[in-house]
Amino acid sequence: MLLLVGLGNPGPKYEKNRHNIGFMAVDEIVRRHSFAPYRARFQSLTAEGTLASEKILAMKPTTFMNESGRAVGEAMRYYKLTPDDVLVIHDELDLAAGKIRVKKGGGLAGHNGLRSIDAHIGKEFHRVRVGIGHPGDKNRVHGYVLSDFAKAEMPIFEKLVDAMAASAETLGERAYDAFMTKVSLILKPPRPKPEKKPAPESAPEA
């Protein structure tokens, strides 16, 4: 089983916040791949489904961001999973808006949701880092992540969430690098190669 965790804050007030991109991505994966309806478990809203024959438990912790690890740890212990069975989708200030990267373990980049998960299960879980850009001043970070996406940004993130859902089967295969590549190709398909013009026919000899 894979524990697919989207990070965010619960409630309509936070729904379109940059900090809630993890919730948005998980919601679209759940919808697109016909998971069971959400129900309240493990201090979260959870939905069960399958991706590439792998059983998936999608989770949106309802603990608020700073206590996300409580929910993740509870579900992990219940199903006797390891950190390697956990994939967290979260916002990332240090990536340009609309970019994604995948990694396992590593630093927490000041992200309180990741810090909480690290405290409860350790560092060795997988992450999908979704770039939201940086406001340019660390004193503005708190207000920036807890504000809604700007109107001009919304098409970028709607396309990104759609591409992530379209590529989600690779998450079930745990082919995380392939997931990143597939999302990138959907967002920026390679240009078709120009067709070669046929060589001119040589004139018949006299």
Q: Which residues pair with 41 in a beta bridge?
A: 44
User: 79 with 3: CB under 8 angstroms?
Assistant: yes
For residue 203, name the pLDDT band (cuts at 50, 70, 90).
low
Predicted pLDDT at 117: 93
What are the helix (H) ranges across 81-198? 112-121, 141-145, 154-166, 169-172, 176-187
| pLDDT > 70? residue 84 | yes
Predicted pLDDT at 200: 67
Residues ≥6 apart with Cβ < 8 Å to 35: 29, 47, 48, 49, 56, 58
For residue 140, name the pLDDT band (cuts at 50, 70, 90).
confident
Distance separating alpha carbons of residues 200 and 52, to the nearest angstrom: 50
Rounded to the nearest 5°, which phi and psi values hold at 99?
A: -90, 150
Of the candidates 19, 111, 120, 126, the residue annotated as catalytic is 19
Q: Which residue has the higher pLDDT, 120 or 200?
A: 120
| pLDDT > 80? residue 193 | no
| pLDDT > 60? residue 206 | no
User: 43 with 74: CB under 8 angstroms?
Assistant: yes
The chain-wide mean pLDDT, for the chain, equals 90
Pick the closest to residue 165 from 30, 18, 17 (CA basis).
Answer: 30
Of 7-16, 24-33, 161-170, 185-194, minimum mean pLDDT range: 185-194
> Considering the chain, what percentage of its residues have pLDDT values greater than 70?
95
Is 19 noted as a catalytic residue in this protein?
Answer: yes
Distance separating alpha carbons of residues 168 and 91, to the nearest angstrom: 18
Residues ≥6 apart with Cβ < 8 Å to 11: none
Q: Which residues pair with 58 in a beta bridge?
A: 4, 47
Distance of CA 41 to the CA centre of its chain: 21
Distance separating alpha carbons of residues 33 and 49, to the nearest angstrom: 8
For residue 135, name the pLDDT band (cuts at 50, 70, 90).
confident
Cα maximum dimension of the chain: 89
Query: Domains, the chain, ranges and CATH?
Result: 2-187 (3.40.50.1470)
pTM metric for this prediction: 0.87
Distance separating alpha carbons of residues 172 and 169, to the nearest angstrom: 5
Residue type, 25: A
| Average pLDDT, integer, range 186-204 | 73
pLDDT, tens digit (0-9, with 9 covering 90-100), for 13-67: 999 999 899 999 999 999 999 999 999 999 999 999 999 999 999 999 999 889 9
